[in-house]
Amino acid sequence: MPVRDGLLALLDEGPKYGYQLKTEFEHATGGVWTLNVGQIYTTLDRLQRDGLVDATEADGQRSYQLTSDGRDALGAWWQATPVDEPPPRDELLLKVLLALGAGNDHAREVISRQRTALYELLQRHRRAQKPAAGQASRLVAEALLSRAEADLRWLDTCERSLNEGA
């Protein structure tokens, strides 16, 4: 629950009001993750419902802060590591697996199309935003690249398995 936990993390620095959370969230992510303002408030409502946050009003400015339960939840989030069981429901993964089930030709076509798209993504991002650009957005771009390279390698594996297995 990225948004939920993101708000908790930001609130750990101290009480904030809703709109402020929007700007800080976007700033923290280098501006690449925009957030509909409304979502902040719906999420804050739900956090309040769950007792992780409470609000105090003054001058029509509603200030939100972590409860001790909220601090616990946040601590747990920092500690949490990705689970691999069950493996994440990934779109690319599922698509290729199903394509394999639908016949080798179909699979080859799907793999080829995905590879092309990933390769273009790679080139596009390598060219762009090398210089300057805040630390956050640079890291986001590099995460994207790293994942794309991994997916490309995996697609190669799939094709190899397809050729051997046939």
- For 54, phi then psi, to 5°, come to -135, 165
Residue with smaller CB distance to its own copies, 10 or 18: 10
Nearest Cα neighbor of 6 from 23, 32, 25, 30 is 25
Tell me if 150 contacts its own copies by CB under 8 A.
yes
**Beta strand ranges found along 21-101 (DSSP E):** 53-58, 61-66
> Whole-angstrom Cα distance, residue 74 to residue 10?
10
Find the shortest distance in angstroms from Cβ 22 to its own copies.
15
Among 56, 61, 123, 163, binds DNA (CB under 7 A): 61
Among 9, 12, 15, 17, the residue binding DNA under the rule CB under 7 A is: 17
Nearest to 65 by CA among 25, 9, 15: 15
The item of DNA, its own copies, none sharing an interface with residue 14, based on CB under 5 to 8 Å by kind, is none
- In angstroms, the CA 102 to CA 114 distance is 16
* Residues within window 50-79 making contact with its own copies, judged by CB under 8 A: 77-79
- Per CB under 7 A, residues contacting DNA are 1-4, 17-20, 23, 36-39, 41-43, 45-46, 50, 55, 57, 60-62, 89
